[in-house]
C-alpha cells in the first residue's frame, strides 16, 4: 500500500470542528466541574482534558536574540481511580549543548476537590517537582500532583524556553482521554517561515491575523571624558498570529496491531523552512525529502564520517581474503561489525564520538555503527549507501523535515534489488531488520546527494512451522512432542525470547502460556547460527488440554496453539492493521486415539481465502484407524492491511477462530 494513497484517504475523513473561543482562567474551577460524575460523551472515560490552551511565540531577548517560548495551561478532570495517572505530568527538554539547552518551569499546579459543598484547593509542594535525566541529550521535568481523588480537577501550567529555533513543540489536540477544548496559538515574526503540517482525522478551526510589533534596542557608549551616553533604536516588524481551535475530541482508543497511535492522533507539527533577516541573505531549510536528505548528508557528523579511513582496513583485508561473492562479503562484514562494536542504545543519524573512535572503543550509537558498516561495504567494492529511517516509536515520517528521522541503516545495491542491513542487533541478518525499523519508508542517500524512497516493509514470508504429535489416554491426559521451526522475523523474535531470559524461566513462561503443560526434553538447534531457521523441540504432558464429559473426550485438535480470541472486534477501524511482516503459521498434527475409543465427530475441512491475495486459511483433517492427521495453515501476505480491507480481515479471523475452536469428540466403543 502506497503511503500517498492512504494519506489521501485520510484527508477525506478529516472533520472540521465548529468551535468558538472560550473564556478560561486558571484557578476558576466551578462546582459543576467538580460534581460531574462521568464524561457526558464517553461514560467509560477515566479522566478528561476539560481545557488545554497553549501558545508558542518567537520573542526577542536582549542576551540571546530571538528565542522560542512555549506556554501551556491545562485543566484535567478525574472520574475514576484508573485516571490517577494523569496526576503525574512530565515535559521533555533538550540538554545536549549549552547554547541549545532548553529550560522548563511548572507553575500554578493545584488540585481542586469538593469538600462539604465547598471548593478546596491543594497546592503543589516543592517535593512534588523533580528532574529526571533520560540520556545525555534529553531530560524530563516531572510533577506529581497532591491530594488526587475521584472527582478531582487538576490544573497546571508550564513554560519551555528554547534558544535555538528549529522545530516548534508539537501540539496534540487529541489524547488517550476525551478532550473538551484545545486551543493553540503561534506568534511568528515576519523573519521566519514555518511549514505547518496537521495529522489525524480531525482538523481544527484555523484563524490568522497580522499585527505590527516593535523591538526597542538600548545601547550605551562611553565618551572620552568617561561620560556614558545611552541611545535607543526601534525596529518595527510584522507578526503573524495563527490560532487553532478544536472541541469535543474523542479519546484515541488503542487497537490491535497499530504501528504507533501518534501517527493518527489529531496534531500539529511545525518546522522552520526559511529565515530572512533585514539586510541579510535568505536562508532556506528543508522543503522536500531530497533537500532534507542532502542537508543531513552534508552534516559534519554524517557524510564526512563515511569517508574516514585508517581504522578498519587491515582487519577487513584479513577477513575478506578468499571471499568473492557480494553475498559472502555482506555476511562477513555485517558479522564483523556486530561482533566488534556494541550498540550503546542511542538512536539518531548523527555520530557522537565518530566512527573511528567507536571502532576503537568497541561501542557506538546507531549512526556510528551503521555508517561504519556502510564504509566497510564500500571498501569491499560493493555499492552501499545509508538509509534514513524513522523508528516505530518515533512515528511515520509524514512530512519533509530534518527531525522526521531518528535512525540510519545500510542498503547494498545488487542485481536483485536492495539488501537492507542493521549491525546494531545481534539477531539481525540481511533483509531482516530489527522490528523497531519496520516503519513504512526510509530514504536512501547517495554520495552525490541524490536520494530515493526505500520500502522498509518486508515482502518475504516469515514461517512458523509446528509438528505436533500427541496421544490421549482414557482419562483425557495428553502426552506429546512438539517440533517448532521459525524463519526470518519469527526466528528473530524467537531467538530474542530465548536469549532474554534464563532457560528455566523461559520454559516456565512457555508452560504457563500453554495451559499449564509440563515440558521436558527441551532442546534447541541453530540458536546461534542465525542464517538458519531456529528449531525448538520438547516433550509435554497436560491435564487441562481436554475435557471428559459423560464418558466422551472433547479436545481442541490444535491444543495450546489454538487461536481463541479475535484481535479485530471493533465495528470499524480507523487505523491500518500493521502486522510488521508477512507470515505463515503452519501446523502438521498427528493425534493418537486411546484404545477403546473411536471418533464420534471431527471438524470438517475448510478453506478461507481473502480477496486481493491478502491471506488464506486452510484446515484439513483425515481419520485413519486410531490416528487423526491434520494440516492447518494461516497465512497473511501483506505487512500492512488498509482500513478498506478491515471488514474482510475481521470476518476472516472470526471464521478461522471458529474453525480452530471446533472440538474432536471421542466416544467409547
Domain ranges of the chain: 14-284, 290-455, 462-668
Biggest distance spanned by C-alpha atoms of the chain: 123
Nearest alpha-carbon partner for 583 in 520, 513, 641, 523: 641
Q: Does the pLDDT value for residue 408 go beyond 70?
A: yes
Helix axis angle for 488-499 and 503-513, nearest 10°, is: 120
Residue 211, C-alpha cell as written in the block: 499585527
Per-residue pLDDT at 449 = 86
Q: How does residue 62 score in pLDDT terms, banded at 50, 70 and 90?
A: confident
Taking only the tens place, the pLDDT of each residue in 9-53 is: 333 333 333 334 456 788 999 999 999 999 999 999 999 999 999
Interior angle at CA 130, CA 127 and CA 136, nearest 5: 160
Q: Mean per-residue pLDDT for 357-375? A: 98
Q: How does residue 191 score in pLDDT terms, banded at 50, 70 and 90?
A: very high
d(CA 648, CA 654): 10
d(CA 478, CA 233): 90
Correct CATH for 290-455 of 3.30.300.30, 3.10.620.30, 3.40.30.10, 3.10.20.30: 3.10.620.30
Give percent of the chain above pLDDT 90: 85
Taking only the tens place, the pLDDT of each residue in 425-445 is: 999 999 999 999 999 999 999
**CB-based contact 146:128 (threshold 8 Å):** yes
Q: Mean per-residue pLDDT for 604-627? A: 96
CA count, 13 A, side-chain hemisphere, 615: 26
Taking only the tens place, the pLDDT of each residue in 208-256 is: 999 999 988 776 666 555 666 667 788 999 999 999 999 999 999 889 9
End-to-end CA distance of the chain: 56
Helix (H) or strand (E) run with residue 294 in it: helix 289-297
Q: Does the pLDDT value for residue 668 go beyond 90?
A: yes
462-668 and 290-455 share a CATH fold: no
CB atoms within 10 A of CB 621: 20
Per-residue pLDDT at 22 = 57
User: Which residue in this structure is represented by grid cell 490444535?
Assistant: 558
Interior angle at CA 63, CA 59 and CA 69, nearest 5: 30
Helix (H) or strand (E) run with residue 411 in it: strand 407-414
CATH number for region 14-284: 2.60.40.3140
Q: Which CATH fold topology does 462-668 show? A: Jelly Rolls (2.60.120)
Q: Mean per-residue pLDDT for 642-657? A: 97
Residue 294, C-alpha cell as written in the block: 542532502
Over the range 568-595, which residues count as b (16 or more CB within 10 Å of their CB) and which as e? beeeebbbbbbbbbbbbbbbebbbebbe
Amino acid at each position: 500500500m502506497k503511503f500517498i494513497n492512504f494519506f489521501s484517504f485520510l484527508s477525506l475523513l478529516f472533520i472540521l470542528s465548529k468551535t468558538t473561543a472560550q473564556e478560561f482562567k486558571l484557578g476558576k474551577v466551578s462546582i459543576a466541574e467538580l460534581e460531574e460524575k462521568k464524561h457526558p460523551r464517553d461514560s467509560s472515560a477515566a479522566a478528561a482534558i476539560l481545557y488545554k490552551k497553549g501558545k508558542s511565540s518567537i520573542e526577542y531577548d536582549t542576551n540571546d536574540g530571538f528565542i522560542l517560548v512555549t506556554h501551556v495551561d491545562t485543566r484535567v478532570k478525574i472520574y475514576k481511580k484508573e485516571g490517577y495517572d494523569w496526576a503525574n505530568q512530565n515535559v521533555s527538554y533538550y540538554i545536549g549543548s549549552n547554547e541549545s539547552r532548553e529550560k522548563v518551569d511548572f507553575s500554578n499546579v493545584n488540585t481542586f476537590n469538593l469538600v462539604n459543598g465547598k471548593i478546596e484547593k491543594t497546592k503543589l509542594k516543592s517535593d512534588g517537582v523533580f528532574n529526571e535525566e533520560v540520556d545525555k541529550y534529553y531530560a524530563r521535568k516531572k510533577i506529581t500532583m497532591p491530594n488526587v481523588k475521584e472527582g478531582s480537577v487538576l490544573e497546571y501550567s508550564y513554560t519551555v524556553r528554547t534558544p535555538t529555533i528549529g522545530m516548534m513543540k508539537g501540539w496534540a489536540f487529541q489524547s488517550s482521554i476525551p478532550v473538551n477544548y484545545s486551543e493553540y496559538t503561534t506568534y511568528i515574526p515576519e523573519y521566519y517561515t514555518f511549514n505547518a503540517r496537521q495529522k489525524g482525522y480531525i482538523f481544527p478551526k484555523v484563524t490568522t491575523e497580522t499585527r505590527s510589533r516593535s523591538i526597542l534596542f538600548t545601547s550605551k557608549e562611553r565618551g572620552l571624558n568617561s561620560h556614558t551616553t545611552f541611545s535607543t533604536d526601534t525596529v518595527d516588524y510584522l507578526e503573524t498570529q495563527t490560532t487553532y481551535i478544536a472541541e469535543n475530541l474523542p479519546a484515541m482508543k488503542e487497537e490491535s496491531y497499530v504501528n504507533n497511535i501518534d501517527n493518527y492522533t489529531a496534531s500539529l507539527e511545525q518546522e522552520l523552512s526559511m529565515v530572512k533577516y533585514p539586510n541579510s541573505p535568505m536562508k532556506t531549510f528543508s522543503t522536500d525529502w531530497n533537500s532534507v536528505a542532502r542537508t543531513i548528508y552534508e552534516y559534519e557528523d554524517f557524510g564526512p564520517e563515511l569517508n574516514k579511513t585508517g581504522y578498519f582496513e587491515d582487519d577487513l583485508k584479513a577477513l575478506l581474503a578468499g571471499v568473492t561473492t557480494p553475498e559472502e562479503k555482506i555476511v562477513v562484514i555485517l558479522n564483523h561489525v556486530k561482533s566488534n562494536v556494541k550498540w550503546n542504545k542511542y538512536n539518531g543519524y548523527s555520530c557522537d564520538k565518530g566512527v573511528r573512535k567507536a571502532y576503537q572503543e568497541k561501542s557506538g550509537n546507531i549512526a556510528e555503527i551503521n555508517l561504519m558498516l556502510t564504509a566497510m561495504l564500500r571498501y569491499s567494492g560493493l555499492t552501499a549507501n545509508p538509509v534514513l529511517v524513522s523508528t516505530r516509536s518515533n512515528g511515520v515520517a509524514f512530512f519533509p523535515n530534518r527531525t522526521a528521522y531518528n535512525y540510519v541503516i545500510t542498503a547494498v545495491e545488487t542485481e536483485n534489488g536492495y539488501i537492507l542491513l542493521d549491525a546494531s542487533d545481534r539477531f539481525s541478518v540481511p533483509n531482516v531488520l530489527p522490528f523497531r525499523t519496520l516503519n513504512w519508508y526510509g530514504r536512501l542517500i547517495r554520495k552525490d546527494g541524490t536520494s530515493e524512497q526505500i520500502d522498509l516493509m518486508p515482502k518475504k514470508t516469515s514461517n512458523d512451522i509446528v509438528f505436533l504429535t500427541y496421544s490421549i489416554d482414557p482419562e483425557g491426559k495428553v502426552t506429546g512432542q512438539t517440533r517448532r521451526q521459525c524463519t526470518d522475523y519469527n526466528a528473530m523474535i524467537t531467538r530474542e525470547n530465548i536469549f532474554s531470559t534464563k532457560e528455566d524461566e523461559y520454559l516456565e513462561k512457555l508452560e504457563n502460556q500453554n495451559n499449564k503443560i509440563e515440558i521436558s526434553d527441551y532442546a534447541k538447534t541453530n540458536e546461534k547460527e542465525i542464517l538458519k531457521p531456529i528449531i525448538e523441540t520438547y516433550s509435554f504432558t497436560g491435564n487441562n488440554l481436554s475435557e471428559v464429559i459423560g464418558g466422551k473426550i472433547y479436545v481442541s485438535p490444535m491444543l495450546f496453539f489454538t487461536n481463541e480470541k479475535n484481535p479485530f472486534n471493533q465495528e470499524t477501524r480507523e487505523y491500518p492493521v500493521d502486522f510488521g511482516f508477512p507470515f505463515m503459521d503452519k501446523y502438521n498434527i498427528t493425534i493418537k486415539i486411546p484404545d477403546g475409543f473411536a471418533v464420534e465427530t471431527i471438524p470438517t475441512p475448510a478453506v478461507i481465502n481473502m480477496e486481493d491475495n491478502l491471506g488464506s486459511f486452510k484446515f484439513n483433517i483425515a481419520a485413519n484407524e486410531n490416528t487423526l492427521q491434520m494440516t492447518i495453515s494461516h497465512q497473511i501476505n501483506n505487512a500492512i492491511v488498509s482500513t478498506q480491507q478491515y471488514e474482510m480481515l475481521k470476518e476472516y479471523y472470526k471464521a478461522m477462530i471458529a474453525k480452530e475452536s471446533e472440538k474432536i469428540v471421542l466416544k467409547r466403543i
